[in-house]
Structure 1
Amino acid sequence: MPVDPLDVRILRLLLEQPRTSVREYARILGTARGTLQARLERLARTGVITTAGPRISPAALGHPVLAFVRIEVTQGGLDEVAAELAAVPEIIEAFSITGGGDLLTRVVARDNAHLEDIIQRLIRMPGVVRTRTEIALRERVPHRVLPLVESVGREAVGDGQRAAG
């Protein structure tokens, strides 16, 4: 979905000040509250904004170990295995992928022994052929979207200038 410079300013503000009210966002942006609300609804409806909830730290919940587990699945078993993965609370994300394996999961655990228990549970699932686990040592670039938003914003401004010129 194309975004314009106001959309970019709204997204930047949402990322930088997520707990601010819509009224305050409108004041900061110098736009009418109704305009801002309509933009937010459009950005949500088109899938640009996917959540408004807080970001929860698994480590703060007692699960400091983060691992990425690649799972190879029997042919035709992807949907069934994915459904089984959804029942494992320590799997916080799962993606079907290309390359080595069929699924890539992001798994959190209390400690390495707990991680081994989770992996053993995965291995026992019908349709799982094998797994490969990589433990994250340290987060080097935290989850972020602001640099992408700013890049898209620069492109939107550039496109607007080219269209005017």
Structure 2
Amino acid sequence: MALDKFDLEILEILQKNNLTPQRDIGDRIGLSAAAVQRRIKRMRETGVITADVSVVDQSELGHPLTIFVEVELKDEQLKLIDEAKQLFSSIAEVQQCYYVTGDVDFILVLALPTMSDYEKLTRKLFFGNPNVKKFKTFVSMQSVKTTFEIPIIKK
């Protein structure tokens, strides 16, 4: 889908606060609220906007640990890669899962209450998985920057 200047301006605003009233968006970019509504609807239908969510403080929900895990598979047959994708995607504690190039196959971002919970999860995801060759864990000491905003390149 081709995005014009107005679409990009709408996305820039929505990424900062998706509860911004369409009337306010229209006033800021020079469109009517109805035109803004149509554009947002089109961007949702075409998959440009994939979700409308609230970003929450994971510590406030009892998940203060952020853990990054590199996972290397023993066998990289497509069927086994797809099984790993399905498994990692099905675990609630896995906040993000990336299938990557390089020395490892996946990078996972986990949110967990305690290291004990992580140890239990490692048994399920890694030690109990015959196709996991090895995994390497990194525990975040502090979140310096976390954002879901994609920089808007204006044409």
Q: Does 1:71 align with 2:65?
A: no
Question: Are the aligned partners of 2:16 and 2:149 in contact in 1 as well (CA < 8 Å)?
Answer: no
Structure 1 residues 107 and 16, CA gap change in structure 2 (3 angstroms):
closer
Q: Does 1:108 align with 2:126?
A: no
Output aligned runs, 1:87-106, within 5 Å.
87-106=90-109
Deviations 1:33-79 (A, max 9, x none): 22112221232234332211212332221011101111112322111
Shift of 1:21: 2.4
User: Which residue identity lines up with residue 57 of structure 1 in the other structure?
Assistant: D
Structure 1 residues 50 and 65, CA gap change in structure 2 (3 angstroms):
same
Aligned match of 1:85: 88
Taking the aligned partners of 2:15 and 2:95, their CA distance within structure 1 comes to: 21
Aligned match of 2:144: 140
Question: Are the aligned partners of 1:69 and 1:131 in contact in 2 as well (CA < 8 Å)?
Answer: yes
Which of 104, 121, 126 aligns to 2:124? It is 121
Taking the aligned partners of 1:6 and 1:87, their CA distance within structure 2 comes to: 37
Number of aligned positions between the proteins:
151
Give 5+ residue unaligned stretches, structure 2: none
Shift of 1:8: 2.3
Taking the aligned partners of 2:32 and 2:59, their CA distance within structure 1 comes to: 40
Q: Does 1:130 align with 2:147?
A: no
Taking the aligned partners of 1:78 and 1:9, their CA distance within structure 2 comes to: 38
Aligned match of 1:9: 9
Give 5+ residue unaligned stretches, structure 1: 157-165
Question: Are the aligned partners of 1:81 and 1:126 in contact in 2 as well (CA < 8 Å)?
Answer: no
Deviations 1:56-108 (A, max 9, x none): 33222101110111111232211112222233221111111111211111111
Aligned match of 1:161: none
Aligned match of 1:59: 59
Question: Are the aligned partners of 1:108 and 1:115 in contact in 2 as well (CA < 8 Å)?
Answer: no
TM-score between both structures, scaled by the size of structure 2: 0.84
Q: Does 1:43 align with 2:46?
A: no
Q: Does 1:18 align with 2:21?
A: no
Question: Are the aligned partners of 1:109 and 1:115 in contact in 2 as well (CA < 8 Å)?
Answer: yes
Q: Residue 86 of structure 1 aligns to a residue in which SS?
A: helix
User: Which residue identity lines up with residue 107 of structure 1 in the other structure?
Assistant: L
Taking the aligned partners of 2:57 and 2:131, their CA distance within structure 1 comes to: 31
Say what the alpha-carbon RMSD is for the aligned residues.
Answer: 2.0
